[in-house]
């Protein structure tokens, strides 16, 4: 059995307000329609998607490249007409008719509708009314109604395609939803569990409520860096942006700031965007003697451009001399300034290698770094 989602998005959204109809407004990083498409595209039992849009909204479809994500159908002046237009564009066995404006529909609601279609002509999610129900007039409560057996209807409303197509054909007037049309044709429609997150954006306040339910997956990345520079003639070294007097200097094409290079490489690593040599080739004369903050600022800007926030940096310098302890606070402050980070998110520490190896013999300085980047 095949299943198609028919997402109706041809309304004008008059109650929601805004410069464009609600389904084309952006919440949580993308348009309402794109969130809704994501939900159905990610569902393992949905084989096909038909998106029904108003003819005057085709520019949005083009701009967002939605033809690549769904079959596009043209909507009508009523919701029922839009549904009928969508039904004409699929041959699937089951159809799930869904409001584009319910953009946070959870996958298990879709599951329950599809499951119930194995034993019913139709199935739709709903929530039992739990609040007391009153009638009112002139600002006063005029009566109480029994809430027993009352439900708040949601979508997707699922049906055997041929059955709902025939029901629409036989229904002369508009209806609130497809369940009403199905029932007027005598189809049995099962009620399955709905979900409060499956709200329909209807009024302006609903945008923030829906955005709250859209789970934007957090992307957390760590990157590591390692670098070595050899000692040579000189009277100071530059480490993590701080000039430290010493009897020798570090050799390198740039200012040889081994700490800053290591952190820069760690950021490129977390972004999977190569390394410092790739962005600033040693063969390029313009970087001869360059201050290394240029490299670090480039990596930080690249992270921002890719939507990441740098949240933490830990850099370890490995050397016997010069002693790092007295200048570590200045190094943290300078690194934090360049990276636009709070200083309590920047660690610079040092260790010796117990006089072992090239760092132990005082031939050079090595540095290690770990950084954390977050996109949410």
Ligand X SMILES: C[C@](O)(CO)[C@H](O)COP(=O)(O)O
Ligand Y SMILES: Nc1ccn([C@@H]2O[C@H](COP(=O)(O)OP(=O)(O)OP(=O)(O)O)[C@@H](O)[C@H]2O)c(=O)n1
Instruction: Say whether 289 counts as a known binding-site residue.
Output: no
| Ligand-binding site membership of 358 (annotated) | yes
According to the binding rule CB under 6 A, does residue 195 interact with ligand X? no
Q: Are 259 and 317 in contact (CB under 8 A)?
A: yes
Alpha helices, H only, the chain? 32-41, 58-64, 79-87, 107-116, 161-170, 178-184, 206-213, 258-271, 276-279, 293-305, 328-339, 357-360
Would strands 157-160 and 122-128 be described as parallel, antiparallel, or unpaired? antiparallel
Q: Which stretch binds ligand X (CB under 6 A): 150-158, 160-168, 187-195, 281-289?
A: 150-158
Q: Which is nearer to ligand X, 153 or 330 (CB)?
A: 153
Tell me: is residue 275 an annotated ligand-binding position. yes
Taking the C-alpha atoms of residue 360 and residue 351, their distance in angstroms, rounded to an integer, is 10
Q: Which is nearer to ligand Y, 153 or 191 (CB)?
A: 153
- Tell me the per-residue interface mask from 97 to 136 with ligand X, x by CB under 6 A, - otherwise: --x-------------------------------------
Q: How far is the CB of 79 from ligand X (least distance, A)?
A: 6
Q: Residue 351, annotated ligand binder?
A: yes
The correct pick among 162, 202, 309, 340 for binding ligand X (CB under 6 A) is 202
Closest CB to ligand Y among 84 and 266? 84
Tell me the CB-side half-sphere exposure of residue 371, using CA atoms within 13 A: 31
Cβ-based neighbour number of residue 179 at 10 Å:
22
Shortest distance (Å) from residue 77 CB to ligand Y: 6
> Quick one: what does residue 176 bind among ligand Y, ligand X, none, with the CB cut-off 5 to 8 Å set by partner type?
ligand X
Task: Pick between residue 199 and residue 271 the one whose CB is nearest to ligand X.
Answer: 199
Answer yes or no: are the C-beta atoms of 24 and 60 closer than 8 Å.
yes
Which backbone phi and psi does 60 adopt, to 5 degrees? -65, -40
Contact between 22 and ligand X by CB under 6 A: the answer reads no
**How many of the chain's residues bind ligand X (CB under 6 A)?**
8
Closest distance to ligand X from the beta carbon of 154 (Å) = 6
Q: Cβ closer to ligand Y: 8 or 187?
A: 8
Residue from the set 99, 227, 255, 257 that interacts with ligand Y by CB under 6 A: 99
Using the CB atoms, write b or e for 98-121: b if 16+ within 10 Å: bbbbbbbbbeebbebbbebbeebb
Q: Which is nearer to ligand Y, 175 or 263 (CB)?
A: 175
* Phi, psi (rounded to 5 degrees) for 4: -120, 140
Residue 71 labeled ligand binder: no
CB of 188 to ligand Y, least distance (A): 24
Per-residue burial over 283-294, b = 16 or more CB atoms within 10 Å of its CB, e = otherwise: eeeebeebebbe
Residue 285: φ, ψ to 5°: -60, -25
Q: Looking at the DSSP assignment, which residues form a beta bridge with residue 291?
A: none
Distance of closest approach, residue 32 Cβ to ligand Y, in angstroms: 9
| Under rule CB under 6 A, residue 227 binds ligand Y | no
CA angle 19, 24, 29 (to 5 degrees): 105
- 131 annotated ligand-binding residue: no
Q: How far is the CB of 135 from ligand Y (least distance, A)?
A: 23
Q: Among residues 37, 46, 51, 52, which is the contact residue for ligand Y, using CB under 6 A?
A: 52
Angle CA 222–227–233, to nearest 5: 155
- Residue list, annotated binding site: 227-229, 253-254, 261, 275-277, 351-354, 358, 361
Q: Interface residues with ligand X (CB under 6 A)?
A: 99, 153-155, 176-177, 200, 202
């Amino acid at each position: 059995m095949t299943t198609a989602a028919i997402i109706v998005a041809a309304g004008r959204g008059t109650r929601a307000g805004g410069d464009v109809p609600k389904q084309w407004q952006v919440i949580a990083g993308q348009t309402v329609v794109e969130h809704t498409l994501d939900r159905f595209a990610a569902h393992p039992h949905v084989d096909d998607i038909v998106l029904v849009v108003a003819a005057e909204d085709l520019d949005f479809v083009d701009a967002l490249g939605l033809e690549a994500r769904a079959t596009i159908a043209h909507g009508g002046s009523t919701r029922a007409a839009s549904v009928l237009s969508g039904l004409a564009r699929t041959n699937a066995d089951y159809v799930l008719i869904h409001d584009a404006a319910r953009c946070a529909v959870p996958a298990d609601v879709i599951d329950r509708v599809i499951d119930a279609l194995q034993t019913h002509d139709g199935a739709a999610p709903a929530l039992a009314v739990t609040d007391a129900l009153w009638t009112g007039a002139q600002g006063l409560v005029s009566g109480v109604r029994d809430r027993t057996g009352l439900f708040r209807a949601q979508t997707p409303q699922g049906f055997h395609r041929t059955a709902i197509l025939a029901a629409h054909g036989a229904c002369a007037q508009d209806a609130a939803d497809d369940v009403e049309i199905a029932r007027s044709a005598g189809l049995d429609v099962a009620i399955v569990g709905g979900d409060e997150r499956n709200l329909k954006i209807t009024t302006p306040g609903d945008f923030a409520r829906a955005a709250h339910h859209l789970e934007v997956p957090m992307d957390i990345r760590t990157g590591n860096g390692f670098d070595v520079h050899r000692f040579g003639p000189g009277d100071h070294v530059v480490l993590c942006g701080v000039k430290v007097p010493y009897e020798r200097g570090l050799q390198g094409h740039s200012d040889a700031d081994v700490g800053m290079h290591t952190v820069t490489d760690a950021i490129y690593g977390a972004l999977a965007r190569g390394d410092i040599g790739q962005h600033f080739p040693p063969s390029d004369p313009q970087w001869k003697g360059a201050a290394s903050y240029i490299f670090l600022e480039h990596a930080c800007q690249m992270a921002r451009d890719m939507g990441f926030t740098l949240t933490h940096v830990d850099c370890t310098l490995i050397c016997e001399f010069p002693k790092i302890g007295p200048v570590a606070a200045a190094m943290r402050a300078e690194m934090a300034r360049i990276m636009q980070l709070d200083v309590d998110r920047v660690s610079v520490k040092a260790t010796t290698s117990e006089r072992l190896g090239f760092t132990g013999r005082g031939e050079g300085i090595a540095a290690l770094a770990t950084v954390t980047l977050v996109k949410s």
